[in-house]
Chains A and B, each alone.
Chain A
Amino acid sequence: MASRNSDFASPTRRGLIALGAGAALGLGRATSGFAQARPPASPRGQVVAGISQEPTVFNPLMPGSEVDQGVWWQVFSPLWYIDPQGKLVADLAREVPSLENGGLSADGLVWKVKLRSDAKWHDGTPFTAEDVKYTLDLINNPGFRVRNRVGHGLVRDIRVVAPDEIHWRMESAYSPYLSILALTFIVPRHILEKASDPNTAPFNSAPVGTGPFRWGERVAGDHILLQANPAYHGQGPHLERIVFKYIPDLTMLYTQFRTGQVDYLGLSGISAHFVREAQSLRGRKVSLSPTAFVEHIALNLEYGPFAEKAVREALYLAMNKQARIDALYYGLPVPTESFLPQQSWAYADKLPVHRHDPAKANALLDAAGWVRGPDGIRAKAGVRLEFTNSTTVGNPGREQSQQLLAQDWQAVGAAMRISNMPAAVIWGEFWQKSKFQSVMVGSNFMQGSDPDVTPRFSSKAIPAKGGSGLNTCQYQNAEVDTLLAQGATQFDQAARKATYGRIQQIIRDDLALLPIYQTVMAEGLKDGLQGFAANINCSSNCWNMRSWYWAS
């Protein structure tokens, strides 16, 4: 059952404290942010949130980035959301449908969702089940530029039973849909249905939602101003205004946080080399929050040497993870063995821990028949242990990391040549169609906050082989395929945890990717700003700005 609490893995917290990271906020069970104080009786004050990308997409169903989602969380509401502990919490729905409350049928095909009857759109129109139906229909409208239809495409026979109740049938059971709906914001039917083309509706630049803040103004290229919604159906908001201030240069962004023009520096976070200084600033606090992104070396498993497991194991043993974390990222990231973040309820914490052991790596390669040539590079049956590694040009951390990696692997007789490209090139066909040999990349493997990794590891999800998905490493494992199919149709969280735990074990054992670390984001807050709670299950730590307030 998805609405059950699950413990966060403690090693992350311990690791951060060991790294001298100060208050590792956002990692605890009850992530209450900072010192407790009472919220004001009525909304008071404003928060200026500094961000390095400009939010430009205000229709929450269209393709948008994390910064856009930061705005969506304020203006719109989902049926339910996922709190920092991974628990589903009802929002526009009265309760989260489950097997226990009859919201989900035993086979997972019939969904019955009861809705709040006290929620209103910002223009005063009552929110009803018709809005939910319209949203799901719009997502499946072929002419609409929707972000994606994963899960939504399975919805059939939507019936509005009452203004506060909606039923539908799924073509096949799909448990991640609970998480997908937690990141699906409901849009107003009464406004959007009047538009001749929902892709270009005026609503898209002046949105109307049911969220805690109403659309105020947008000064393009500068800021977005949101006003408190006094008729909000939930708790809060406690602030009169929220300003999303766009400051593209990270150094300038930090400078304005330092000089006090920015109250909260988030979304992109404080650059690693500023973190220590930021922690020592008077009147400022730094929150170190793990993200769902896992930095790893993606190997093209169809490329000669990488097809052999011994080679992958040797390369992993030869990699000095900790040196990179300490030297290049100031000790902030957390070493990991999984593709899932350690805060996910499905995270497997018993995976073998990586050791930097070049001697063992050499022994492994010797045993596997990889013989060193006169230039020190190994070869086997005429195939040299030589490959390229690519990443995005202009990312100094990754570029330096590659240098270290090339040295590590040179020591065991593997030649890594760096071949970097602009983002637009590398993540195009080169990546999508598996034309790379190895790539250094940070990825969020989850579907929203669900551990279903079918698009990443299913043998049917290899684009280079005509599949549909993101399995660009071309990983194929029959047992994983079976487990993925099983996990996506299970609705009991304990059972799913076991399924995805096993998947993580297999992926770690196969070394389908070489995991390096889970990224940690440093966000800055002014003293006195209360209510901040990092939430890895949402795409933005602005998810609960309705709960933010200034301590008197």
Chain B
Amino acid sequence: MGRYLLQRLGQCLLLLALVSMIGFAILHLAPGGPLSQFALSSQMSQEDLDRITRQLGLDRPLLAQYLDWLWRMLRGDWGLSFRDGAPVSAVIGSHLRATFELMAVSTVIAIGLGCWIGILGAVRRYSLFDTLATIGAMVALSIPTFWFGLIAIYLFSVQLGWLPAGNRQTIGDGSPLDLLHHLIAPALVLALVETAIWARFMRSAMLEVIGQDYIRTARAKGLPERQVLRGHATRNALLPMITLAGLQFPTLLGGALVTETVFTWPGMGRLFLDSIEYRDYPVVMGILMFSAVMVLLGSLLADMLYAVADPRIRMG
């Protein structure tokens, strides 16, 4: 197990190095730069733009810039944002909380609701509930998240006035109730796709387990159906879900990106989009590396938990 862990950590470091190189190259080779937003400004001439480019060190060779960034990154210095001059770690930190709030709540909803729908769908296979759940899941997976977001805003904010049309809090309020009020719509929208995924996976896993011999044995022993499902089937069917939880992190991040934009949620997703638009290289690289670390950790953690949960799995 220890050897396997070291092996995996080594792979992770190699992957991170690749991500940083490819990300840095693509980002810097893309047309434009942090000053392109001023290209049409009547207040700035090309000379001004060239001067500031030199002052920011963006005129140096790409390799020199990369090595400089890497050296500082390894020492824990993520650099300063081009947009507001604040340390990148502080910029990312200030947006993290909002994203994690959104992701945590929507994940809890998605896992709870998705597993329940999946289990029930498997147990009552081909019933009306199962058919409706399948259709619902397909609809949720087929329609873009932003559309659901817009519909939610139109319905619950514009027409009914029940929920705020976006934002994380009422400025000057920020009470838990106010935060919750603002969280309902984006969390539900973000959870929608996740719920569909969880429901489909759970249904498949449950169907597979229900067909196993030990379930038949349990039933033959005269155990009540509820006990068979809860004690034997569900627990075993949940095992693959651990892996899914680890692998769902990138999907969740992607979903948060769209949801945050629609609901003007001040999280990492929106920060990432804004930073790309303004070519704020240090922040984009910071988010890229942070996300890569999180994804790799998620996958590693899922593998570890799987081994812990299922003694049959042997690492290495």
Contacts and interface: CB of A to CB of B under 8 A. Distances in A.
Contact of A248 (B37, B98, B264): B264
Given A56-B83, A222-B168, A65 B43 contact: no
Given A221-B95, A424-B279, A427-B36, A249 B44 contact: no
Interface string A420-431: 001111011001
Given A261-B164, A424-B36, A48 B52 contact: no
Contact of B157 (A57, A255, A448): A255
A297 to B, nearest CB: 15
Nearest to A455: B45
A424 B27 CA distance: 13
A148 interface: yes
Given A145-B55, A204-B85, A428-B39, A63 B31 contact: no
A249 B262 contact: yes
- Which interface residue of B43, B262, B267 has the most chain A CB atoms within 10 A? B43
A441 B40 contact: yes
A56 B82 CA distance: 9
A428 B263 CA distance: 33
Nearest to B56: A145
Contacts of A65: 37-38
Contacts of B150: 251
B167 A470 contact: no
A63 B36 CA distance: 11
A274 B231 CA distance: 58
Contact of B30 (A220, A258, A424, A470): A424
Residue among B94, B165, B267 with the most chain A CB within 10 A? B165
A489 interface: no
Contacts of B33: 424
A148 B45 contact: yes
Given A261-B167, A446-B42, A222 B80 contact: no
Interface string B37-67: 1111011111110001001100000000000
A425 B266 contact: no
Contacts of B31: 422, 424-425, 428
A256 B46 contact: no
Interface in B149-178: 150, 153, 157-158, 161, 164-168, 171-172
B165 A443 contact: no
Contacts of A261: 164-167
A63 B37 CA distance: 10
B32 interface: yes
A220 B55 contact: no
Contacts of B40: 427, 441, 443
Nearest to A241: B172
A487 interface: no
B145 interface: no
Contacts of B264: 222, 246-249, 252, 256
Task: Assign chain A's interface to a size class.
Answer: 35 or more
A425 B32 CA distance: 6
State the majority secondary structure of interface residues on B.
loop
B203 interface: no
A428 B84 contact: no
B164 A63 contact: no
A258 B159 CA distance: 11
A261 to B, nearest CB: 6
Contact of B84 (A149, A150, A220, A251): A220
Contacts of A56: 81, 83-84
A427 B153 CA distance: 36
B91 to A, nearest CB: 6
A148 B48 contact: yes
A440 to B, nearest CB: 12
Interface string A56-83: 1110000101000000000000000000
A246 to B, nearest CB: 8
B86 interface: yes
B270 interface: yes
Nearest to B83: A56
26 contacts: A48-B171, A58-B84, A63-B35, A63-B44, A63-B48, A145-B55, A148-B45, A199-B55, A223-B171, A247-B166, A247-B264, A248-B264, A252-B153, A252-B262, A252-B264, A255-B157, A255-B165, A259-B157, A424-B30, A427-B36, A427-B39, A431-B39, A446-B42, A455-B42, A468-B47, A470-B42
Given A221-B267, A223-B171, 5 more contacts: A65-B37, A148-B43, A247-B166, A424-B33, A432-B39
9 closest pairs, A vs B, by CB? A424-B32, A427-B39, A222-B266, A221-B266, A56-B84, A56-B83, A425-B31, A424-B31, A220-B94
